[in-house]
Amino acid sequence: MVPLLVLPWVAGCASKQYAHILANNDKDLVGSHAAGAATWNPLVEESVAKLLSRCPPDVRPVSYHMEGSQPIVEGPSTICFAGIENKSAEELGDFKDQLFEQIDSQINSGSSFRGISRRVVQAALLETRLRPDSLFLPGNRDVFAAALGKAGSPVDYLLFATITSGTTDRNKSSQRDYTLTLEMVNVHSGDFVKESAKIRKGYSKSRTGKWWNYGIFDQADG
Amino acid sequence: MVELRHLRSGGRLILPPVIRRFVALSCAFLSIVCSIGCRSNQVSLPMAHQAFAKGDLETATGVLNELADGSQTLRYPSELDLAVVELASGKAPEAETRLRQLREHFDAVAAVSVKDAASMVTDDRTRDFALADYEDVMLRTLLAVCSLSSGSGDATAYLLQAQSRQEELAERLAKADDGPRYNLQVALAPYLHGAIREASHQDYDDAERAFRLVSQIQPGFLPAAEDIARASTGTHSPKGHGVVYVVSLVGEGPQRVEEVAATTTASLQIASSILKTVRNEADDRDEPVLPNIASVKVPTVVVPESPIAAVGVRTALGFLGATQTVTDVGTLAREQCDAEMPWTIARAVARRVLKETSVAAVSDSIGLSGNAASVLEFAASSVWSGAEKADTRCWSLLPREFQVLRAALPAGPQTLEFVPLGHGGQPIAAPINHSLTMENGRNHYVFVFAPGQIVSIVDSAP
């Protein structure tokens, strides 16, 4: 009788999930299998800050105008964020749009540039049927700039973001370097400015992997 | 030998105490047996399936609603089927809400462990209904289909969830060293994700990755090569054109049926370890003695024969082509069921052993011995084990295959003609016309439900 009485008839039990709101000073979670917030957030901040610091504050105002007339838009230069290209070994999942908005917002929050709405950019790409990576070609750039101008959003700069990664494996541990590169091309002159930020991250199968590989004896060296 | 004497006293039949106990025990077992599997209502899942296959969505909805409100055992499988019927009926928002609630329910029900399995003393039907791994991924994918149809705007989120769930389940499988191995990847999720990202005209790299994943999961899906090439160097569509994605749900999906399976060495070894876990026996040297059990009832997957092989699509411009299989649900179901079979058999064997042990313990506790004990144990064990049935619950209104066809069409009003094609490529029924309006540079999704013939065509929201 014992087994009958002892054995419960319940096949499974419900699992629960809990959540809490993070305070501003709470640290971001470090992803165990992929980059995550602790990697991307500082990368965006650093690369955008570097780029904006290198750009001249007295950039010429927007110059889309009719022949023989004055420029129709005055003010800070306009910048068109063409998109993020992921060339890393990891899928970005829901982070891609998040990164796009973060970069776009940070650039807009400065006084040097005025961003063009993402929807306008997508409409211009749709109209011209140009790929973002084809805008580096002067001819395509002109067609695209004209489409934006026609939509009432003349452009001075095109901004491209690229995510790359480099992976080093050693036995059961690995190191992955993540780089976010921002490249800003002047539509009028073709000149470009490029800045990047890098974060290195170690992955291991055990909690002690961090000390084992990157401990006080500099084991990573050999 | 027990002496059987019938004594009458005051009109009552007086039996010896031993026999009275035996009769009482047998009655108890019979009442358990009768309580298992008795249904008072007349509706059943096959009725809903037949109605759906004939295109009688109203009857299918009625039957499934009744089943979902009925016994707890069939509630969740019926609700899953109901969501498919709602989607086919053009009630995408209702289907989306239902599937969201089901997703939360199934996420909350923990996976059944070896110990849980051994704890069951009736049969597997008493377990909470849990989704097979491919069904778990499919649930999120169908949520995306509902969202595309209703225009709720959450399709991308659902597709990301599907892919993330897929990775999570694959990782769990890989971690279980001696567990079953099977494919659970649903290529439809990355395919739709790629299609949506490509239509942004900005995220071609995402689209390329997604299509490469589709090609990796479903190498037989030939259009993937064209999709990869377009996403890596081309553009979404020519100027003045939009793109229509025809997603067809073709054939009757996999069903679980009961069959008698012979025990195998592998399954007996697993059963032995289940019993050791239940009894908390740490000593590896003391293997439990298993009785001679030759066969047990288990569920197996059957894909019903359907005359339909694909859906042909034609416009005024000509024949666009036939839909191609991007996810073979039947194969996914069969692979998982076959891979898990040793564990399924082992659970049934372990359960049988526990039942026999329990009966022996009862017999011992009431003081029976000799032939009387043997008779009681044999009778009770036979009745108890005979009442077992395999757990054949599953998401049975999923199609046999998800197929897709992509075509760029001029912007403006278009009429598509859908024709069900047989296995020889010949039309098996009259074509059905469907009008839609293509938008320049945008995607348009059409979902065709064809379990045997085309029963419903549902458009995406503008």
The predicted structure's pLDDT at residue A68: 54
How high is the mean pLDDT of chain B? 83
Task: Say whether pLDDT at B153 is over 80.
Answer: yes
pLDDT at site B13: 39
Selected for mutation to probe chain B from A9, A85, A91, A158 (highest B CB count within 10 Å) is: A91
> In the prediction, which pLDDT does A57 show?
52
Residue A83, beta-bridge partner list? A160
The pair of three-digit structure tokens given for residue B179, joined into one six-digit string = 């567990």
Task: Look at residue A196 in the predicted model and tell me its pLDDT.
Answer: 95
> Residue B231 — very low, low, confident or very high, per pLDDT cuts 50/70/90?
very high
pLDDT band at B118 (very low <50, low <70, confident <90, very high): very low
Q: A126 CA to chain B: closest CA distance, Å?
A: 6
Q: Do A9 and B126 touch (CB under 8 A)?
A: yes
Asked if pLDDT for residue A58 goes beyond 90, the answer is no
Q: What is the predicted pLDDT for the residue at B3?
A: 34
Of B112, B201, B235, the CB nearest to A11: B112
Q: How far is A84 from chain B (nearest CA, A)?
A: 8
For residue A4, give the nearest of B118, B203, B358 by CB distance.
Answer: B358
Cβ-Cβ contacts under 8 Å between A and B: the total is 97
**Whether B108 and A16 lie within 8 Å, measured CB to CB:** yes
Q: What is the pLDDT of residues B435-455, one digit of tens each?
A: 999 999 999 999 999 999 999
Over the stretch A130-187, which tens digit does the pLDDT of each residue have? 999 899 899 999 999 999 999 999 999 999 999 999 999 988 889 999 999 999 999 9
The predicted pLDDT at position B189 comes to: 96
- Using an 8 Å CB-CB cutoff, list chain A residues near B206: 86, 92, 96
For the segment A23-35, the average pLDDT, to the nearest whole number, is: 90
Min mean pLDDT across B71-80, B135-144, B357-366 is at B357-366
The answer to whether B172 and B113 are in contact (CB under 8 A) is no
Tokens of B149: 């149809």
For residue A64, the distance in angstroms to the closest alpha carbon of chain B comes to 24
A52 Cβ neighbours under 8 A, 6+ residues apart: A107, A110, A112, A113
Q: Which residue has the higher pLDDT, A56 or A176?
A: A176
The predicted pLDDT at position B17 comes to: 53
Q: What is the mean pLDDT of residues A96-125?
A: 91
Residue B111: per-residue pLDDT: 52
Q: Which residues of B touch A (CB under 8 A)?
A: 107-112, 116-122, 126-128, 130, 157, 160, 163-164, 200-206, 209, 235-239, 278, 354, 357-358, 361-362, 365, 440-441
Q: How confident is the model at residue A109 (pLDDT cuts 50, 70, 90)?
A: confident
CA distance A215 to chain B (A): 28
- Does B69 have pLDDT greater than 70? yes
Q: What is the pLDDT of residue B44?
A: 86
The residue of chain A with its CA nearest to that of B357 is A3
Mean pLDDT, residues B19-31? 51
Give the tens place of pLDDT for each residue, B371-391: 777 777 677 667 666 667 788
* Interface touch A87/B361, C-beta < 8 Å: no
Percent of chain A with pLDDT over 90: 55
* Percent above pLDDT 70 for chain B: 80
Quick one: average pLDDT of A48-63? 69
Per the document, the length of chain A is 222
Q: Which residue has the higher pLDDT, B126 or A139?
A: A139
Residue A59 scores a pLDDT above 60 = no
For residues A207 and A210, give the distance between their C-alpha atoms in angstroms, rounded to a whole number. Answer: 7
How large is the average pLDDT for residues B289-303? Answer: 81
Report CB contact under 8 Å: B205, A15: no
- Which residues in chain B touch residue A133, judged by CB atoms under 8 angstroms apart? 204
- What pLDDT shows up at residue B12? 41
Whether residue B32 is predicted with pLDDT greater than 80 in this model: the reply is: no
Mean pLDDT along residues A57-66: 50
Per-residue model confidence (pLDDT) at position A56: 63
Check whether A197 has a pLDDT greater than 60: yes
pLDDT reading at B179 higher than 80: no
Lowest mean pLDDT among A71-85, B216-230, B284-298: B284-298
Work out the minimum CA distance from B51 to partner chain A, whole angstroms.
33
Q: What is the mean pLDDT of residues B221-241?
A: 96
Residue in B108, B121, B160 nearest the CB of A93: B160
| Chain A residue with the nearest C-alpha to that of B443 | A126
Q: Which residue of B has its CA nearest to A92?
A: B206
**Residue B416 in this model has a pLDDT that exceeds 60:** yes
Give pLDDT, residue B391.
84
Question: Does the model's ipTM exceed the 0.85 cut?
Answer: no
Q: Quick one: closest CA in A to B115, which residue?
A: A11
Measured in angstroms, the CA of B131 and the nearest CA of chain A are apart by 13
Looking at residue B10, its pLDDT comes to 39
A129/B200 touch (CB, cutoff 8 Å), yes or no: no
Residues of A in contact with B202 (CB under 8 A): 82-83, 121-122, 125, 132
d(CA A51, CA B449): 52
Q: Does the beta-carbon distance from B203 to A83 stay under 8 Å? A: yes
CA distance A127 to chain B (A): 7
Q: What is the 3-state secondary structure (H, E, C) of chain B?
A: CCCCCCEEECCEEECCHHHHHHHHHHHHHHHHHHHCCCCCCCCCHHHHHHHHHHCCHHHHHHHHHHHHHCCHHHHHHHHHHHHHHHHHCCCHHHHHHHHHHHHHHHHHECCCCHHHHHCCCCCHHHCCCCCCHHHHHHHHHHHHHHHHHHCCCCHHHHHHHHHHHHHHHHHHHHHCCCCCCCCCCCCHHHHHHHHHHHCCCCCHHHHHHHHHHHHHHCCCCCHHHHHHHHHHHCCCCCCCEEEEEEEEEEEECCEEEEEEEECCHHHHHHHHHHHHHHCCCCCCCCCCCCCCCCEEEEEEEECCCCCEEEEEEEECCEEEEECEEEEEHHHHHHHHHHHHHHHHHHHHHHHHHHHHHHHHHHHHHCCCCHHHHHHHHHHHHHHHHHCCCCCCCCCCCCEEEEEEEEEEEECEEEEEEEEEEECCCCECCCCEEEEEEECCCCEEEEEEEECCCCCEEEECCC
Q: Is a pLDDT exceeding 50 seen at residue A119?
A: yes
Inform me whether the pLDDT recorded for B430 exceeds 70: yes
Among the listed ranges A31-35, A109-113, B108-112, B450-454, which one has the minimum average pLDDT value?
B108-112
Within its chain, how far is the Cα of B149 from the centroid? 23
> d(Cα A94, Cα A104) in Å, to the nearest integer?
16
Distance between first and last Cα of chain B: 83
Whether A11 has a pLDDT exceeding 70, the answer reads no
> Closest-CA residue in chain B for A81?
B202
Give chain A positions within 8 Å (CB) of B120.
7, 9, 11
Residue B418 to residue B311: CA distance in whole angstroms: 6
Predicted pLDDT at B124:
66
Chain A residues near any Cβ of chain B (below 8 Å): 1-4, 7-16, 82-83, 85-87, 91-94, 96, 121-122, 125-127, 129-133
Q: Name chain A contacts of B242, Cβ cutoff 8 Å.
A: none
Q: Please give the residue that has the higher pLDDT: either B345 or B436.
A: B436
More confident residue, B33 or A54: A54
With beta carbons under 8 A apart, name residues in chain A contacting B160.
93-94
Contact A1 B209 (CB under 8 A): no
